[in-house]
Structure 1
Amino acid sequence: MTNDHDVVISGASLAGCTAAILLARRGVRVALLERRSDPDAYKVLCTHSITANAHPVLDELGLIPALEKAGALHNDARWYTRWGWIEPRSAPEGPELPYGYNVRRSTLDPLIRARAAETPGVDLLLGHRVTGLVREAGRAVGVHASTPQGDREIRARLVVGADGKDSAVAKFAEVPTTLHENTRFGYLAHFRNLPLQGGIGQTWFLEPDMAYAFPNDDGVTVLAVLPDKKRLPAFKEDLEGSFLEFVRALPEAPPIDSAERISKIIGTVDYPLVTREPTAPGLALIGDAALTGDPLWGVGCGWALQSAHWLAEAAATAAAGRGDLDRSLAVYARTHRRRLRGHQSVAVDFAKARPFNPGERLVFSAAARDESMARHMYMFAARLIGPLRFLNPAALAKAAAVNIRHRSAGVSPAR
């Protein structure tokens, strides 16, 4: 099969641009399709945060100097719980805690898209919307696209869906999909002059309600509320009043009334978690198209970058015509499941808007009382360790010991 391209990617956002850059650097010819015509288009509804697990990918892309120059902030964190604040800090004489970046998508998306467009081997095709798949012998061999110049067929050895949680590519390919109910809803807004304690991101675990405030580039803070759906009628009746009332009631609430809101209050009342098979014959899914997590954890951007990196590592050689593509896609699928399905299972369970379970109560309460346990929780929140390591017997034993010492010191036991 002779094609103008080896790979065609639908979606030129974080996952699609990352995959295009990394594949092209490995000698792959890439058609990068984006349905929007504006090169500066960006995703609006987002946590605007990249977790530390994706830092190596940003480094390989060469984006870190540009992000620093654009004002992206290291995403330190502190979390409120009923036992007090969990405040991770580097160990004395130890290394700095790993970090990712808080950066608005209005800054990040055009930056990475421009980097993709200037990468040799990448053809960025704006205004190209995928309308179907080209199939031969039961496998994807290209896409049909609607363009400003009319309909077009683009053939390639590999089709990549990087087109978000409502992926058209996944639907056209009839990829098995599981939807998990999220019993929280969410709204966010952007503010200026909204100081945060310590100048770092805050998250509130209110069991079952949630909230977070993340400082971003250009002095803008993203403030989000994620209440149980039992509160939805009040928000539907008075969105602004309910949003402000919710924030004012937070422990150590940010001074929202003296801040300047510079955006609308936007959000969604129904945001299910999506889990799909990451591959099909001739096709791979990355980013939210493969797995959409709960937005309260802020993992979507990091997983978009990571999944694109895993695909490039596994499939570049075969996509260029020098290996077995099906075998390479199987390697990618195994990596994707091994690295993310455990995290997703925890998120799916927590999306039921429930209080902490016994294991979580044990670890979260200890993390509010002990610096090493706080660092342990930070490593999980940054997605640098998985749930099995987060709640392994040694961690639970240490958490129990911390809480026993706390009680022995004469403090009332945690509920």
Structure 2
Amino acid sequence: MTQPENTGHGYDVVISGASLAGSAAAILLARRGVRVALLERRSDPDAYKVLCTHSITANAYPVLDELGLVPAIEKAGAVRNEARWYTRWGWIEPKAAPGGPGLPYGYNVRRSTLDPMIRSHAGRTPGVDLLLGHRVTGLLREAGRTVGVRASTPQGEREIRARLVVGADGRDSAVAKYAGVPGRAYQNGRFGYFAHFRGLPLHGGLGHTWFLDPDMAYAFPNEDGVTVIAVLPGKKRLPAFREDLEGSFLAFVRALPEAPPIDSAERITKIIGTVDHPLHSRRPTAPGVGLIGDAALTGDPLWGVGCGWALESAQWLAEAVAPAMTGRSDLVGPGGLDASLVEYARRHRRRLRGHQYLAADFARARPFNPLERLMFSAAARDEEVARHMHLFGSRLISPLRFLTPVAVAKASAVNLKHRRAAASPPPAHLSRTEP
């Protein structure tokens, strides 16, 4: 529900973008006593992001829990995103250790369900004014720092002042552009197309990811019996897709190992996608400005991490800046806010820079490197290594923890044992020829 506009004393924070990152940040800040204007350029409260993996990795489960959205997401039919991954060494199928806790999970849920849910939740949160149809057209600046935004609204232009402006407005962030925030783009050697199918069974009811080295594909089951299928080939295949999108898409899926039976399923959407999806990394702060979600860092869609990182970065920002804004910190005023933004930027960089570095390297659509071959092949052969890979794929451990000397030694031992077994002759009773 849209809250009435506040025309009195302004806000503590104005957020541009009321999708996952922006709505989550608004809720978490308001609960900490911060007054928030949440701006959304679209006027439709049910608007949603179309081009998405529609998956929330397990690293963001604590954020969903803090937001109080887990019961509503499960009631809506979201699917816990357990998965199996195809490699040329076989399937990697992470399973919980016998007698141990279950594997961490997130959810597969379409943005047409999730975006209106979290936006409505934000609009009902005391302390949040949800302002639909508000598009940021510029920033207000004083003494070298941002102090608010100019926005185009259904009623005309208006200025909204705030102590902090948050850009949650996607990879082409207008807030980042107007603030002059520097960034870096990494070219993606793959392109991607998606389609939704109903009535498409998957082995074990699990999500599937195909590492075809270097081409990629995945099929994720979602709510309401809908499965999202994506193909992410290297750009050498692009001419064929441009000539015949539907034929090339369907042929690619049919050729997958244990291919989903798309010919007996109902396709309920067009085939949509993008031929150019660079990865973006921006400095997540500037004086009076914080960036979250894709505005700060746009990952490679093949990993399905964007939704999870959007929610996590919203939580990190709220935890960093709320104390300075509500007087619960020893640091007050612009200096205290700036120190809080420094802490947020440090946390964002520490948690995501390594993941983005590896993703940008893999986005070159190159074959697996030796270390990747080691870990993927071992994970296909050993349940412990598969669980370790699941933690990394869920972004619950860093690249450094994924590739510790102990983990690499374990994978090496698994593969050595496999090679020795393959080289050993069969037992004599199995090698005798029956008369």
TM norm. shorter chain > 0.5 = yes
Do residues 114 (structure 1) and 123 (structure 2) align?
no
Q: Using the alignment, how far apart are the partners of 2:235 and 2:9 within structure 1?
A: 50
> Which of 52, 57, 60 is 2:58 aligned to?
52
Pairwise CA distance, 1:167: 0.3
Q: Using the alignment, how far apart are the partners of 2:200 and 2:363 within structure 1?
A: 28
Partner of 1:141: 147
Do residues 241 (structure 1) and 247 (structure 2) align?
yes
Partner of 2:419: 407
Pairwise CA distance, 1:320: 3.7
CA 1:297 to 1:411, structure 2 compared with 1: closer, same or farther past 3 Å? farther
Does the residue aligned with 2:14 lie in a helix, a strand or coil? strand
Does the residue aligned with 1:183 lie in a helix, a strand or coil? coil
Does the residue aligned with 2:276 lie in a helix, a strand or coil? coil
Partner of 2:367: 355
Partner of 1:325: 337
Q: Using the alignment, how far apart are the partners of 2:378 and 2:293 within structure 1?
A: 33
Alignment RMSD, CA only?
1.0
Q: Using the alignment, how far apart are the partners of 2:384 and 2:393 within structure 1?
A: 14
CA 1:411 to 1:92, structure 2 compared with 1: closer, same or farther past 3 Å? farther
Partner of 2:429: none
Does the residue aligned with 1:363 lie in a helix, a strand or coil? helix
Segment drifting more, 368-377 vs 315-324: 315-324
Q: Using the alignment, how far apart are the partners of 2:342 and 2:423 within structure 1?
A: 53
8 Å contact 1:194–1:259 — kept in the other structure? Answer: yes
Aligned counterparts, 1:76-87, within 5 A = 76-87=82-93
8 Å contact 1:188–1:224 — kept in the other structure? Answer: yes
8 Å contact 1:141–1:158 — kept in the other structure? Answer: yes
> Which of 53, 57, 68 is 1:62 aligned to?
68
Partner of 2:303: 297
Q: Which has the larger radius of gyration?
A: 2
The amino acid across from 2:397 in the alignment is: I
Partner of 2:107: 101
8 Å contact 1:158–1:319 — kept in the other structure? Answer: no
Q: Using the alignment, how far apart are the partners of 1:405 and 1:19 within structure 2?
A: 49
8 Å contact 1:6–1:320 — kept in the other structure? Answer: no
Does the residue aligned with 1:9 lie in a helix, a strand or coil? strand
Deviations 1:197-225 (Å, cap 9, x if unpaired)?
Answer: 11010000001100000000000000000
Partner of 1:378: 390
Partner of 1:43: 49
Q: Using the alignment, how far apart are the partners of 1:188 and 1:359 within structure 2?
A: 30
The amino acid across from 1:259 in the alignment is: A
Pairwise CA distance, 1:321: 5.8
Partner of 1:91: 97
8 Å contact 1:3–1:156 — kept in the other structure? Answer: no
Deviations 1:237-278 (Å, cap 9, x if unpaired)?
Answer: 000000000001100100011110000000000000000000
Does the residue aligned with 2:188 lie in a helix, a strand or coil? coil
TM-score (norm 1): 0.98
The amino acid across from 2:174 in the alignment is: A
Partner of 2:4: none
8 Å contact 1:142–1:154 — kept in the other structure? Answer: yes
> Which of 46, 71, 80 is 1:74 aligned to?
80
Q: Using the alignment, how far apart are the partners of 1:3 and 1:318 within structure 2?
A: 18
Q: Using the alignment, how far apart are the partners of 1:246 and 1:271 within structure 2?
A: 20
The amino acid across from 1:106 in the alignment is: S
Does the residue aligned with 1:175 lie in a helix, a strand or coil? coil
Partner of 1:337: 349
Q: Percent identity?
A: 79
Pairwise CA distance, 1:411: 5.7
Does the residue aligned with 1:348 lie in a helix, a strand or coil? helix
The amino acid across from 1:286 in the alignment is: I
The amino acid across from 2:308 in the alignment is: G
Q: Using the alignment, how far apart are the partners of 2:342 and 2:9 within structure 1?
A: 23
Q: Using the alignment, how far apart are the partners of 1:3 and 1:176 within structure 2?
A: 31
Partner of 1:366: 378
Pairwise CA distance, 1:234: 0.3
Q: Using the alignment, how far apart are the partners of 1:211 and 1:250 within structure 2?
A: 8
> Which of 232, 239, 244 is 2:238 aligned to?
232
8 Å contact 1:185–1:229 — kept in the other structure? Answer: yes
CA 1:281 to 1:236, structure 2 compared with 1: closer, same or farther past 3 Å? same
What is the total number of aligned residue pairs between the two structures? Answer: 411
Q: Which stretches in structure 2 are left out of the alignment for 5+ residues? A: 1-7, 425-435
Partner of 2:227: 221
Q: Using the alignment, how far apart are the partners of 2:201 and 2:367 within structure 1?
A: 29
The amino acid across from 1:260 in the alignment is: E
CA 1:284 to 1:308, structure 2 compared with 1: closer, same or farther past 3 Å? same
Partner of 2:410: 398
8 Å contact 1:180–1:348 — kept in the other structure? Answer: yes
Q: Using the alignment, how far apart are the partners of 1:4 and 1:321 within structure 2?
A: 18
The amino acid across from 2:276 in the alignment is: D
Q: Using the alignment, how far apart are the partners of 1:159 and 1:128 within structure 2?
A: 14
Deviations 1:273-294 (Å, cap 9, x if unpaired)?
Answer: 0000000000000000000000
